[in-house]
Chains A and B, each alone.
Chain A
Amino acid sequence: MNHLFLPIFKNTIKMKSIWLYWCFGLVPFIVILSAIFNSDFLQIETDSGITMTGLDLFYMLFGILHNLLLPFVILAFIISKVFYDEIHSGIIFMYKDIKRSSILFSKLITLLIIHTIFNVILFISSTVVYYIHTGSLDNTSPLLLPEGTNLLAFSLEPIGIYLVQLIAIVLAITLSIKLSAGYTILGTLLFIFFTTLAPMLGVSKFLVPTGYTDQIDSLGLYGVFAIMIMITIIYLAALLTFAINRFKKVEY
């Protein structure tokens, strides 16, 4: 697996679109530019009575970028290049008859690491922005993590978004084995739309990991967390099984 994963990872991160995707992790710096040019875009204001920490800013920007969809459009495009384009251009001949599931998992791990690097860039840049700009505003704390709050409870919503993103990555892989970039991007964005709207649509909210954050009183914090993880595992297992079967049967 190692002789497969490392070259695939090193090869993939040489794609220009990966660097464009990672550039979106620098979006927090727009907060500073926005303040300099007195623009309303990404202006951070804190309510009186609520003290903002560095983690608050990160979670806020993480949520904004998720709803903005643009980084995910690029990620879905990258996934399509890594799967659909390689199959249909004939590049896949390079892999000869290496076990298809090993190829798929090496690419999946590569994409997950790329996604993680994006989030690390976002975290670092939002922390930098917090300490050089936002932290000086009213009602902000010099601390990165909130004091006296359960971190899991505080992070439940962003964790839900993160789990949705994991599912969306595997969904994009599944789609891109057979469908071109346009359909892969469309399908992935529709799924993200659904996960955003589902929590507001009655029963359907229980179909997505993000739909349980208001159930802490009835299910308890750890109960909600466990259900979110379980739902994600079910989605991932179903999609991966389907994707592996599809990938094994691909003819080129």
Chain B
Amino acid sequence: MLTVKNLSKKFKKSDVYAVKDVSFELTKGEIVGLLGKNGAGKTTIMKLIAKSLIPTEGEIVINDRDILKGNNMLKDVNLMIESAFFNHLSAYENIKFYLTINDMDYSEKEIKNVLMLVDLWEEKDHNPSQFSFGMKQRLGLAMCLSSAPKLVVMDEPFVGLDPNGVTALIEKLREWVVDRELTVLISSHQLSELEMICDRYIYIDNGLLVKEFDKSLTSVTVIKINDEIDPSVIQKFEHTEMNHKEITTSLENEHFNDLIKVLSEETSITDINKKDHLKDLFKKGEEV
């Protein structure tokens, strides 16, 4: 769906690269989290995909087409990077304008549905100038979801949403991933929300792609046992390691239950603790 090859960006008045030699791929129907500290280069990567920045080097291919080699290549891509709107138009008119200029098919019902999803239907006739920051974010989200995109690029989509809104957004994105094979590149500092939705993660630091890792690696449980057991017992389980009296595993559901069952038969469990590896990643920088 999306291939980023050796992407670099150096701003005119800067000596250093904001993004350097970044390559990654997103396959159809995948939700990928773009992680990194402030200033790491996440937004720059998103803006390069949105073609609002011109890359110094590299290629961006969407559906086998190099998007940098022509116009109107982002027809199937919706962006939520900066939530800015015309203040002399209502929320409804802003979405309608966006859909019309981009020559997208839409129905009044679709606009209504998306405004209801972000809880702005009651405010549809109000101008964004009267909106709070959170409401503007939600309007940006509505715009991003207002047509039937194949790829969605979202920068901090959870900001401004209440817990119900976050759940509704996550459900909607998951529904679209299943029904429409939507692909999502999402950046957020709200790690627990990202963990609820992402299949994979890309970690950016100082403009470099430091690590790509799977969802299974972020959900790690540490089990402490009373006595050391035979390592062969543990070797039967995937993604599970033992270090003296501590077992680390990324198993979930029935596999996790099986492990607990086996351990209980061998020894007694003293503690089970879920480790937040995304948070660790932010603290340490690069180690997962």
Interface, chain A (partner B; CB < 8 A):
3-4, 6-8, 11, 14-16, 89-100, 249, 251-252
Contact = CB atoms under 8 A, between A and B. Distances in A.
Contact of A251 (B53, B67, B89, B101): B53
B100 A7 contact: yes
A98 B82 contact: no
A51 B77 CA distance: 65
B84 interface: yes
B251 interface: no
A97 to B, nearest CB: 5
Contacts, number: 67
Contact of A95 (B67, B75, B101): B101
Interface residues of B, number: 29
Contact of A94 (B53, B72, B101): B101
A189 to B, nearest CB: 25
Interface string B87-121: 01100000001101111000000000000000000
Contacts of A97: 50-51, 67, 71-74
B272 interface: no
A16 B88 contact: yes
B84 A14 contact: no
Contacts of A251: 52-54
Nearest to A2: B103
Contacts of A252: 47, 52-53
A89 B84 contact: yes
B86 A91 contact: yes
Given A4-B101, A7-B100, A11-B97, A96 B50 contact: yes
A213 to B, nearest CB: 40
Contacts of B32: none
The 6 closest A-B pairs by CB, nearest first: A90-B82, A90-B84, A99-B71, A89-B84, A7-B100, A97-B51
B52 A98 contact: no
A14 B87 CA distance: 10
Contacts of B51: 96-97
A203 to B, nearest CB: 39
Given A90-B81, A90-B84, A249-B54, A3 B100 contact: yes
Nearest to B54: A251
A93 B52 contact: yes
A14 B88 CA distance: 7
Contacts of A90: 81-84
Interface in B202-249: none
Contacts of B98: 94
B79 interface: yes
Nearest to B79: A93
Contacts of A7: 97, 100-101
B85 interface: yes
A6 B84 CA distance: 21
B147 to A, nearest CB: 11
Contacts of B103: 3
A92 B53 CA distance: 12
A4 B100 CA distance: 8
Contacts of B101: 3-4, 7-8, 94-95, 98
Given A7-B101, A98-B72, 12 more contacts: A11-B89, A90-B83, A93-B52, A93-B81, A93-B82, A93-B84, A94-B97, A96-B51, A96-B79, A97-B67, A99-B71, A251-B54
A14 B75 CA distance: 27
Contacts of B67: 97
Contacts of A14: 88-89
Contacts of A4: 101
Contacts of B79: 93, 96
B57 to A, nearest CB: 15
**Interface hub of A6, A14, A249, A251 (most chain B Cβ within 10 A):** A251
A11 B81 contact: no
A223 B85 CA distance: 49
A92 B79 CA distance: 12
19 contacts: A3-B100, A3-B103, A7-B97, A7-B101, A8-B101, A11-B86, A14-B88, A14-B89, A89-B84, A91-B85, A94-B97, A94-B143, A95-B101, A95-B102, A96-B50, A96-B51, A98-B71, A98-B72, A99-B72
